[in-house]
């Protein structure tokens, strides 16, 4: 189980290298989808099933879908995947950098052990993260209202930026 | 450093370097920014889980809400750029170049 989570952590780093190495945005979005998926796996491996589900639904299923079809705005006649000359240099440099930092900062054999949350305690009705998120509705109610307000404000900002016909915030559009 | 700490720290630094260095498309920069947000979400959620401070699990949820705001604003700017300049390539954003 520990080795499986370790494999998912490596896949997270490789996925972000795939995004950061400047391919065509189609492939960068694919790398980010893979990184988000294995990130959810890491959270499940540490016992946070609710937070993992939130990441899957909201991040992958909401935000990354929008990025994926916005990649149509970045269409190129000759897309560059990770094998093409300009991208493969960045990939190798980032892999080397991560390997060097990993080699320098590696702790001992004991530092890789982790357990599932609430795994060493008494029986509980709810998983830890589920009970914690419920605090957002009780004690954190003010922050919830602020977040809802900010999301409404962002909707207005987006509509204003893309209003068009020289009457919005960006006059040239 | 524990493997978990190392992995999300290097994920954050990789996203930051991808954002800062030479880009071709504006959308690539926005995707690197989203990668940084992903690494921050994983970091906060793993803080909650590994230190068993369960009331901190509201923090990743709120981070996700604000990250959604930022992503949508970035995409609106991308659409505005594609409307004015016809493309989102960064070499076309040279109006202030001397």
Per residue in B39-75, pLDDT (tens digit) is 999 999 999 988 888 889 999 999 999 999 999 999 9
SS3 B9: helix
pLDDT value of residue A3: 83
**In angstroms, what separates the C-alpha of B95 from chain A's closest C-alpha?**
12
Residue ranges of the domains in chain B?
A: 2-91
8 Å CB contact of B84 and A48 = no
pTM of the model: 0.92
Q: What residues does B89 pair with on adjacent strands? A: B25
How far apart CA A127 and CA B45 sit, in angstroms, is 14
Give the start-to-end residue ranges of the domains of chain A: 1-123, 126-172
Q: Tally helices (H) and strands (E) across chain A.
A: 8, 0
Give the DSSP H/E element, type plus range, for residue A8.
Answer: helix A2-20
Nearest CA-CA partner of A7 in A55, A44, A34, A42:
A42
Please state which of the four CATH numbers 1.10.1370.10, 3.40.1390.20, 1.10.287.3510, 3.40.50.300 is assigned to the domain occupying B2-91: 1.10.287.3510
How far is Cα A67 from Cα B25, in angstroms, rounded to an integer?
13
Q: What is the pLDDT of residue A109?
A: 62
Angle, CA of B37, B42 and B46, to the nearest 5°: 150
Average confidence score pLDDT of chain A: 87
pLDDT at A172: 62
To which residue do tokens 């189980």 refer?
A1
> Chain A: nearest CA to B64, how far in angstroms?
8
For the complex shown, is ipTM > 0.90? yes
């Amino acid at each position: 189980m520990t080795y499986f989570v370790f494999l998912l952590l490596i896949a997270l780093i490789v996925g972000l290298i795939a995004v950061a190495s400047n391919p065509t945005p189609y492939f960068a979005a694919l790398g980010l989808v893979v990184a988000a998926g294995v990130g959810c796996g890491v959270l499940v491996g540490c016992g946070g099933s609710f937070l993992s589900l939130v990441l899957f639904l909201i991040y992958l299923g909401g935000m990354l879908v929008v990025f994926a079809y916005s990649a149509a705005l970045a269409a190129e006649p000759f897309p560059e995947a990770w094998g093409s000359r300009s991208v493969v240099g960045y990939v190798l440099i980032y892999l080397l950098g991560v390997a060097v930092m990993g080699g320098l900062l590696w702790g001992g054999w004991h530092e890789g052990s982790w357990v599932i949350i609430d795994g060493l305690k008494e029986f509980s009705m709810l998983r830890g993260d589920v009970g914690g998120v419920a605090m957002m509705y009780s004690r954190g109610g003010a922050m919830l209202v602020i977040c809802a307000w900010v999301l409404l404000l962002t909707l207005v900002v987006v509509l204003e930026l893309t209003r068009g016909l020289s009457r919005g915030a960006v006059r040239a559009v | 450093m524990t493997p978990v700490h190392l992995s999300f720290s290097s994920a954050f630094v990789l996203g930051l370097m991808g954002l800062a260095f030479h880009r071709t498309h504006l959308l690539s920069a926005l995707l690197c920014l989203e990668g940084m947000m992903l690494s921050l979400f994983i970091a906060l959620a793993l803080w909650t889980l590994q230190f068993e401070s369960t009331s901190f699990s509201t923090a990743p949820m709120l981070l996700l809400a604000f990250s959604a705001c930022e992503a949508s604003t970035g995409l609106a700017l991308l659409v505005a750029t594609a409307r004015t300049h016809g493309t989102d390539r960064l070499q076309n954003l040279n109006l202030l170049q001397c």
